[in-house]
Structure 1
Amino acid sequence: MGITFNNQILPNSCQLIGYSWLINHFNLELPLRQLCCISQKRLAGQSIHKGQWLIYDAQLMVEDIAYSHLEFALKHEYIDLLILKRIFQQYPLQEISQSIDINPKRILSKKIWFLYEFLLNKRLPLKDLPVGKYDDLLDVKKYIISEKIIKSKRHKINNNLIGTAKLCPIIRKTEKLRHYLDSNLNKKISNVLGSVSNSLIKRAASFLLLSDSKASFEIEGERPAKNRIESWGKIINEAGKTILSINEIQRLHSILLGNSRFIKIGLREEEVFLGDRDRDNYPIPEFIGANSKDILELMNDWIELEQKLLEDEIDPILHATIIAFIFVYVHPLEDGNGRIHRYLIHHVLANRNFYPKGMIFPISTVILDNIKRYRDILVQHTSPLMKMINWEATENGNVKILNNTEDLYRYFDATSSCEFIFACVEKTIKETLPNELKYLNSFDKAYIEINEIIEMPENKLKSLITYILQNEHKLSKNKKEKYFDELTAHEIKTIEDIVVNNFL
């Protein structure tokens, strides 16, 4: 039987390389999302995919020591700060210092040196580099970077990470994200709204707001009373007006849950998990939120990151995605994390003036239409982390975390999340918003035409049009007998024709 790594059999004539080799060498339990190995033979290209493996050509073979594999990972694989931090924690300080000191001016040596001290907040016994050239930490062709570079004088490195040492997402510059970033969605909003009256825009905003509030509850499998939907809609309408803080999260939480007797308002003091329980109330978690003892520190770091993203003026949609998804992964509340997570997308987009004042994008409505993809993205991130969380069941059917899990919530790849939210925003601009405006415009025209030939109270006429639209452009016999028995067959046919003509 072949050699296995991460429950996958190593391809024939191959050996581990890069992160895979380092994880195996240091005996680490880590969620490696791309398994890499190197062939002992030449390939047709530099690398090929085979099942779960990315196989590199033999020409890229490196010396079988930790530092060489670390250099390989930084040069050929995508940067993974969680894995790097765990490797550095196991890497003997003297050994890594000596390897860097052989040629500290080499780009890869400078990057390894910087990342070690950045992630561990520990200084290696090395002298600062003399005056010389600064090199970018992240390749601008491969990653979304911060435009406000922080120069590390000691390492002669341009720190262009979009996050901080405490909380740092990575976003790969995929073809999809390149397309979205170049598509100027901001301008497309103006084009959609440019030829529409302000009164119609306000009405569309009102309908979309209610739709978004309702959808956000439906995503969680809830069917709340109308007053709760409307109450949460009012909060969404105020998004972006108040600076994010722990007090603001607590305020939103209290409004969302109302007078709940069974849930603590604000940051939780117990563990939380998503999943099920068996018949004995034993937890079957699919995801476990951050340890409650780490919540306050993580949320303070989250607020610090929010301020950095504001100052850096990163793209608003990327900004919104980062802030919202970190929140839902930390899961700082006992309940309501998902709805506030989606509210945060509204908050950032409104605060960054991505759309006109008074207009709210129905992000939750579009997410609900793509619920499988949304859940897949969440699970793709959280499922591998579960292998790193040691837990036991408590007497009350909850979980108790037994190991240090703080870093699992500090570093993550946000690429798929960003692609998804961009797609949701694009769909809103190209389909949802124009369709709503078209619907309202058609409704108004039908109303005016019908009102010119038949006098009827405003609300009754609007209900008549709605009933016809709900029943494939025909007034049902039941609705006619119940509400419109005064209308003749000829009048009904005329009204139906008007509705059809305006909604074609």
Structure 2
Amino acid sequence: MSPTLLGFQRLAQMHGISLVQPLRTRSQVGSSRQRTVVDGHELQTWPARYQPADSFRGHFEFGLKHERLNLEFLSRLFARLPATEVAAWIAEEPTGGYARRAAFFYEWLTGQPLDAPDTAANVGYVDAIDSTQYLAAQRPDRVRRWRVNNNLPGMRDFCPMVYLGREDARDWLYNVAEGVRQLDDAYGPELLLRSAAWLTFKESRASFAIEHEGDQQDRVRRFAAAIGEFSGRMEQPLLPDGLHTLQKAVLGERALRLGIRRSPVFVGQSTFLAQVVHYIAPSEALVSPMLSALAQLEERTRGADPVVRAAAVAFAFVYLHPLVDGNGRIHRFLINHLLAADQAVPANIVVPVSATIAGTARGRANYDQVLEVFSRPFMQSHAGDYRFGTQRTCPDGVVTNFEFSATDEAQHAWRFIDLTAHAFYLSGVLRQTVENEMAQEAQALGRNDAARAAIKQVLELPNDEADLIIRSLSQSDWTVSNKLRKALPEIFDEAGQHHALHARIVAGVREALEGGRGGGQ
């Protein structure tokens, strides 16, 4: 016998609602009160005395009290629920906090007014969501009609959600600012700043590797320059003008397609037999309003945790795919931009997250896996809703034969995507990047400085020639290569003026690189 469901699960059962993103809380009747969490899914068991009335009102109030919110579910529920059910509840409990929140969510999600009077002016305000458990707007809008503080992070057209969990269980959330401060303490600000140029180039090169594109030096340098020029320095990167500036900087003046897309797009691959579709982005008619809402989310959440904000904005952007070209690179640019804009890292320091992602097969697989948290169930829900039909030219010049027939159904998931897993993922990547990639780069620079100093204690010469010696010796197992001998015959050729010093130079470089930590801890 199946257990008796409570709350949002029961409402989904009553109204026959299927979701792309599952409800993360399952509440059921049992002999005793219990709570278990496995892989982000929560099972709550409640004694029969907690069972609410088997109605919209009873289960919705139970869900608001005890369960994790899923805006896709609320959107689908209110699209089916007669408005009279919500209006009747508010008529019976005009000052009730849960009734007013239900009325607020109904009108906010559907855009349709309820046939009900405004809440009395002497009633206190309640928050739409618990700002201690979710990414929330830092300066809520006051909805006087229901006396509700609208602290949802985004807008009706696009409102990604991130569940933070209980405050006593947030060890997963990395403090980037503290991590960078510890690097600064360990290696010094001068060494960290000097590493910035290489880290920027490394981030750019790795970003192309993620997209399975070759190491094309001009494009890599162009993206690195865009990071250096704009990261942390753009007030409104998600508005059309800001995106156009970024697109030109990343793709170059000769790019064929610039601007907001006005054509359908899917992420996939071609085979000899057919096109394989991995994800379908929001239909072109939704792009502009969703992008505008994402820009407002970025503004509304300023002051919230920088890692959570970066995850919400950057991954929402890549799922929206608002541009014809450059979406992936700008998605990863936004991570660094927001960390710098929120002063979690200095504007001239780049956290090379792409290097961590692309550095190993596991890193690339983990990145693909987090993208599939939404894309895989979305495609499972809409596997029969697309086709390749008659070829046509779209207003943005893109020629396509791709057709998607379920925009009205899919928009509930597109608009209210849950990015909790993505915040967990990005936090882990940032921890690994700061504590490994950046620390190793600072150590390498410090050891290189020590090797230069060791050379110059023996013989004064320019830095570029000292670096040539260091690179050559470290790559040739501390033997003098013919190439090095030809490049610096004065030192390494037996007939050279300073050949008698070469053994001391080799020994000094080796000791610095193998034995020293170079300004580190």
Q: TM-score range by the shorter chain?
A: 0.7 to 0.9
**Does 2:262 match 1:269?**
yes
Residues 476, 386 of structure 1: alpha-carbon distance in 2 compared, 3 angstrom cutoff: farther
Structure-to-structure mapping, 1:322-361, within 5 angstroms: 322-361=312-351
Query: For the Cα contact (< 8 Å) 2:153–2:159, is it kept in 1?
Result: yes
Give the aligned partner of residue 5 of structure 1. none
**Does 2:85 match 1:91?**
no
Query: For the Cα contact (< 8 Å) 1:188–1:429, is it kept in 2?
Result: yes
Shift of 1:327: 0.7
Query: For the Cα contact (< 8 Å) 1:47–1:57, is it kept in 2?
Result: no
Structure-to-structure mapping, 1:278-317, within 5 angstroms: 278-280=271-273, 282-310=274-302, 313-317=303-307
1:129 & 1:402 partners in 2: Cα distance?
41
Give the aligned partner of residue 105 of structure 1. 95
> What secondary structure does 1:394 align onto?
strand
Structure-to-structure mapping, 1:357-372, within 5 angstroms: 357-369=347-359, 370-372=363-365
Letter of the 1:143 counterpart: Y
1:124 & 1:143 partners in 2: Cα distance?
27
Residues 198, 107 of structure 1: alpha-carbon distance in 2 compared, 3 angstrom cutoff: closer
Gaps of 5+ in 2: 392-399
Could you tell me which of 441, 449, 453 is aligned with 2:454? 449
**Does 2:140 match 1:149?**
yes
Give the aligned partner of residue 436 of structure 2. 431
Letter of the 2:513 counterpart: V
> What secondary structure does 2:213 align onto?
coil
Aligned residues: 486
Shift of 1:497: 3.7
Query: For the Cα contact (< 8 Å) 2:10–2:59, is it kept in 1?
Result: yes
Give the aligned partner of residue 17 of structure 2. 28
**Does 2:40 match 1:57?**
no
Query: For the Cα contact (< 8 Å) 1:85–1:120, is it kept in 2?
Result: yes
Query: For the Cα contact (< 8 Å) 2:135–2:304, is it kept in 1?
Result: no
Structure-to-structure mapping, 1:74-223, within 5 angstroms: 74-130=64-120, 131-174=122-165, 178-179=170-171, 185-194=176-185, 199-223=190-214
Give the aligned partner of residue 252 of structure 1. 246
Residues 423, 36 of structure 1: alpha-carbon distance in 2 compared, 3 angstrom cutoff: closer
Query: For the Cα contact (< 8 Å) 1:36–1:56, is it kept in 2?
Result: no
Gaps of 5+ in 1: 1-11
Runs of 4+ in 1 over 6 A off after TM superposition: 49-53
Shift of 1:212: 0.7
Letter of the 1:28 counterpart: I
Residues 431, 50 of structure 1: alpha-carbon distance in 2 compared, 3 angstrom cutoff: closer
> What secondary structure does 1:170 align onto?
coil
1:410 & 1:467 partners in 2: Cα distance?
55
Shift of 1:204: 0.6
Query: For the Cα contact (< 8 Å) 1:20–1:35, is it kept in 2?
Result: no
Residues 482, 401 of structure 1: alpha-carbon distance in 2 compared, 3 angstrom cutoff: farther
2:160 & 2:435 partners in 1: Cα distance?
29
Shift of 1:267: 1.6
| 1:439-486 deviations in Å (ceiling 9; x for gaps) | 112111111112322455543331221233345x53376766775752
**Does 2:44 match 1:46?**
no
Shift of 1:495: 4.1
Shift of 1:206: 0.7
1:394 & 1:451 partners in 2: Cα distance?
70
**Does 2:481 match 1:486?**
no
Moved more, 69-78 or 26-35: 26-35
2:196 & 2:141 partners in 1: Cα distance?
41
TM-score (norm 1): 0.86
Shift of 1:388: 4.3
1:486 & 1:499 partners in 2: Cα distance?
23
2:38 & 2:342 partners in 1: Cα distance?
43
Give the aligned partner of residue 500 of structure 1. 514
Query: For the Cα contact (< 8 Å) 1:253–1:336, is it kept in 2?
Result: yes
Query: For the Cα contact (< 8 Å) 2:3–2:29, is it kept in 1?
Result: yes
The sequence identity of aligned pairs, in percent, is 24
Residues 304, 434 of structure 1: alpha-carbon distance in 2 compared, 3 angstrom cutoff: same
Residues 278, 15 of structure 1: alpha-carbon distance in 2 compared, 3 angstrom cutoff: farther
